[in-house]
Structure 1
Amino acid sequence: MIKPWLFEFFPELGDEARDPAPADMAGYFTRYLDLWTRDEALGFEGIFFSEHHFGGSFSASPNLLISAVAMRTQRLRLGVMGVVLPYYHPARVVEEIGLLDHLTGGRLEVGTAVGVPQELARLGMTMEEARERSDEIVEVIDAALAKRVVSHQGKHFSFANLRLLPRTLQQPSPPRWTAVVSAESARRAARRGIKISTGFNSTATIRTIFDAYRAEADAAGIAAGPDCLALRRRVAVAATAGEAQGYAAAVSERLKSFVAQDSRLKQSVPDAPPPAGGFTISDEEFITGTPAEVADQIIEQCRAVGAGHFLAVLHWGAPIDEVTAAHELFGGKAIPILRTA
């Protein structure tokens, strides 16, 4: 079985030149909350929200979205892929994990990330500093989930004898994830027993990343089956292949402007290496077609890399009516195929 998730970007209504009217904003939020509530009945495993800042999305505080959706649902797993750790004090991160695990009734999935360069740079933070801060906070999370009182002495954070409350409902902790784009990042996650998600790259490259994770976990004596691995892809689905291609072309155009802002990313160019410390967006990042065609492509890619989870970025950045139709079509016709794969 392949477990189908939503990876939710929550696109901005309006743009740099135009702020929508408050009533339009209120209606927009309500429609998305209704859509995410409907996703439970459509058979999605859960929703991973993303965290982005300073334009493009309304996902600056995804933990608030988790709390809102938790009050409307009963089964959906809810998480962030991932919380951008360098923005926060580790005590806040740990205590919000505990609080959200209770508010979701034990449905929380914990995901962390370093962040994207162009957003961090707006606050004067380099990727080097962001990685340092992220590594320190991860140490604190590891310690806090294991014991009641935590002390830490590091380059960016220092504190002693903190009780970080509440303790999580899921014990010893909620499932933990991190987003990776390299074999070395995958190895680090494996050593800590944390699940991984990745996308952008070709299935061949992702297989190499997942193989590195599996080998490192095996060496550490940690079980690392398909349930530890998630493949994330941008999906365009429609009643006909031609209609889906039109939606996919629009997604690709929107993605180009995003890629232009991120020094780690570049569009797929045959035989060209990725930028230093970065990665290439492969053509396989885009899964397009009718529900049956989309399901077949997902199954093929998940089998190729050994992933038990699929994170669907449905009609990335599209208007809400288009996104709603895609959820209905994917949930109604593609998910039953994935569930029995």
Structure 2
Amino acid sequence: MKFLAITLIVHRPDPVTGVQKSTQDRFREVLDNALLAEELGFDGFGVGERHERPFISSSPPVVLSHIAALTRRIRLFTAVTTLSLLDPVRAYEDYATLDHLSGGRLELIIGKGNGAAQRALFHVTPEDQWERNAESYEVFRRIWRQDKVTAATRFRPGLKDAEVWPRPYQQPVRVWHGSATSKESVDLAARYGDPLFSANVTHPIEPYAELIRHYRERWEHYGHDPAGIAVGAGTAGLYVARTSQEALEAYRPVFEGTLAFQKQAGLPVVFETLEDFVERSSALVGSPQQVIDKAHRYHEQFGHTVLHLHTDASGLTGTQHRDSLELFQSAVAPVLRKDIPDPPFDWAPVLPASPVREEPARV
């Protein structure tokens, strides 16, 4: 099993202290967390894309390029690239450039994105968002694979023998499809034989498991080998301590502060108590053995081989946050790596067997 640390770069007051960092300090925290993730042995670091409050993650290519310059090993993910909102030509230019600068460490998770405010900002409607997402992805993948592209499009000017530069480093970049609540993203992933990443953060396990089962069915419907399926899954929170009592005591203020924010903002509340949240959500809060057992229960339903963990402290102190990540990597990750297989592809740049390519630029 592989492990990603991700951030959506939420920018709001700390749920426990009520203090809000400056924008610059929040970005600095993201960079520090990326360095920590590489230091602790995480396999990937992901940055979300949102274009509305309370997020400041509107430009993941810029953030990931900075992280690429600071790191050497860790793979760089988007979580997710909102292709329904973006011009696929411009998105390709940004990400192909980032892929070269990082030496082929880029992986994309794409999706239509959520939120009425960002849809309004880009003049995208609930009625056309899925068609935009599918069209943008078709154009994006063709640009990545073809030197010249001709495409009749609805949502951007058509292309005729278009050349888009720079030409790619990875051939092609691996694209995962983010799945939250709808079958459209699941079907798009299955149609192209691409891996799926389940959000798995808001609700209990059942709706996510149903979508993953649908993905597997559609994968075979489109004629792909079931051995090639790769599924990733998110988590709703993380705090690992030596005992369950310590974990619950430390995490309770975080949960209660977040719950108060949800109610104040008028957001739907799924889990009213910490105990229910720990029991029925995907949050990994408890002793190492409890976290291992819960990861296995989810794996039985999902068959996933990649797991993402939120890299933000989100109300924990800096010491609590680091101690939890260190304990996860020392006591939980080795067991799950042994028990659960890796995805059915190399965790490395996607490069042709020949000819030999020049060394990537160092940044």
- The TM tier, using the shorter chain, reads 0.7 to 0.9
Q: Please state whether the residue corresponding to 1:96 is helix, strand or coil.
A: helix
| Equivalent in 110, 113, 138 of residue 112 of structure 1 | 110
Helix, strand or coil for the counterpart of 1:158? coil
Q: Deviations over 1:54-99 (max 9, x none)?
A: 3323322122121111112222111112111233212111112211
1:121: how far off? 4.7
Question: What is the aligned counterpart of 2:45 among 47, 50, 53?
Answer: 47
**Aligned letter for 1:211?**
R
Aligned residue in 1 for 2:298: 301
Residue deviations 1:153-202, cap 9 Å, x none?
A: 2222123232112222121x111111113345312210111211111343
- Aligned pairs for 1:178-217 within 5 A: 178-180=177-179, 181-198=181-198, 199=200, 200-217=202-219
Distance change (3 Å), C-alpha of 1:225 and 1:260: farther
Question: Secondary structure at 1:267's aligned position in 2?
Answer: coil
Match of residue 236 from structure 1: 239
| Alignment RMSD (CA, Å) | 3.0
Q: Is the 8 A contact 2:251 2:316 kept in 1?
A: no
Change (3 A) 1:179 1:238: same
TM-score if structure 1 supplies the norm length?
0.82
Contact 1:288-1:294 within 8 A present in 2 as well = yes
Q: 1:333 is matched by which residue type in structure 2?
A: A
Q: Following the alignment from structure 1 to structure 2, what is the Cα–Cα distance between the partners of residues 74 and 83?
A: 23
Displacement after TM superposition at 1:224 (Å): 4.0
Return the match for 2:81 from 51, 74, 83: 83
Unaligned stretches of 5+ in structure 2? 273-278, 340-363
Query: Which residue does the alignment assign to 1:35?
Result: 33
- Alpha-carbon separation, structure 2, partners of 1:164 and 1:329: 45
1:286 to 266, 283, 287: 283
Distance of aligned partners of 1:205 and 1:157 in 2 relative to their CA distance in 1, 3 Å threshold: same
Aligned with 2:242: secondary structure? coil
Check whether the contact 2:239–2:321 (CA below 8 A) recurs between aligned residues: no
Kindly, what percent of the aligned residue pairs are identical?
24
| Superposed displacement of residue 26, structure 1 | 4.4
For the Cα contact (< 8 Å) 1:233–1:287, is it kept in 2?
yes
Cα distance between partner residues in 2 of 1:286 and 1:107 = 28
CA shift, 1:101, in A, is 1.3
Change (3 A) 1:61 1:315: closer
Partner of 1:336: 334
Farther-moved stretch of structure 1 (147-156 vs 67-76): 147-156
CA contact (8 A) 1:230 1:309 kept: yes
- Tell me the distance in 2 between the aligned counterparts of 1:184 and 1:30: 36
| Aligned-pair CA distance for 1:109 | 0.5
AA matched with 2:166:
P
Q: Name the counterpart of 1:275.
A: none
TM score, norm. by length of structure 2:
0.78
Give the conservation status (yes or no) of the 8 Å contact 1:227–1:307. no
